[in-house]
Amino acid sequence: MSGTGDVFPRSVGARSAGSGVGVRGGFRAAYDDEESATSYAQHFDPAFGRRFAERALDALVVVRGARVLDVACGTGVFARLSAHVVGPSGLVVGIDPSAIAVATARRIDLTSTVDWQQWDDGGLPFADGTFDVVACQHALHRFTDPVLILEEMRRVLAPGGRMGVTTWGPIEENPAFAAQLDATVKAGLDDSGVVEALLEAFAWHSTDDLEQLAGQAGLVDVSCQSVRMLAALPRVAEWVRVYPSLPPLSQVWPKCDQHVRVQFLARATELLRPFEHDSVLRVQASSRLLVARRPRH
């Protein structure tokens, strides 16, 4: 517990007897080590994560005093923003199966206003109907059974509570990631697992698929919209050197020889250069935002 232990209801920590979603072995962690998680928080969250989290907060109508759960919170940008909105009368929990993610999120949260928890196993460790809002940002693809995790998110929602799930749009609508993918192939890293990991992140880009998933999980008032923005990144020469510090490339970069590294950086620079103007790299970013409710009865 960090900071909110004195106001955190004991019932929140009690898992419902009927929950049974196993996350151990059923969830793929986002970070390899503390260094890659820190780099993600430093470079990715300000450029992409925060902006999409702000859109989700608006769509979910998070208000002062609300109880909010951030599922697979990663480095915790959505949870931190939620804490600012709900204030001291509200409650925000960020939970992730990765100890590295939780430790990084806790370290970044200087105000200690979020309760950061590691999700060890089983279903979400909260009683039925605990939260007013439950969200999952850019992490649905990490669960081997997305229907089960949405069912768990629905379970811990109060009747009529709101759920928000943000996923990436097609990689073609995200040139910063398309350039990373192309450069990975150009550098001969096809067999490293990086290509598969990059593509996996964009698996849930279809609004029809997301709406069907929500229906299977027993949610109502389902809507799904495309959210697009223009991200301002550092100049190309700086940004391409961020890629190797972020998963999934960070998993293999230390073992790459100089030729592979030069090939990757040169190709990524070539593809992104047309997007740089006045020493600022401006690229489109696209996500899908699913919003739904738990039935009131």
Domains annotated for the chain, with CATH where assigned, are 14-293 (3.40.50.150)
Predicted pLDDT of residue 23: 55
- Per the DSSP assignment, residues forming a β-bridge with 93 are 69, 115
pLDDT tens figures, 272-294: 999 999 999 999 999 999 999 99
| CA pair distance 29, 104, nearest whole angstrom | 13
Predicted pLDDT of residue 20: 46
Predicted pLDDT of residue 110: 83
Residues of the chain with pLDDT under 50: 1-20, 24-25
User: Running DSSP on this structure, what letter comes out for residue 28?
Assistant: -
Predicted pLDDT of residue 30: 73
Predicted pLDDT of residue 5: 30
| CA pair distance 45, 232, nearest whole angstrom | 12
Helix (H) / strand (E) element for 133: namely strand 131-137
Q: Render the burial of 158-190: b for 16+ CB within 10 Å, e for the rest.
A: beebbbbbbbbbebebbbbbbbbbbbbebbebe
Predicted pLDDT of residue 191: 85
Pairing of β 280-293 and β 220-233: antiparallel
* pTM, entire model: 0.89
pLDDT tens figures, 139-186: 999 999 999 999 999 999 999 999 999 999 999 999 999 999 999 999
Predicted pLDDT of residue 192: 84
Structure tokens at 246: 């972020």
Q: How far is CA 147 from the centre of its chain?
A: 17
Q: How far is CA 139 from the centre of its chain?
A: 4
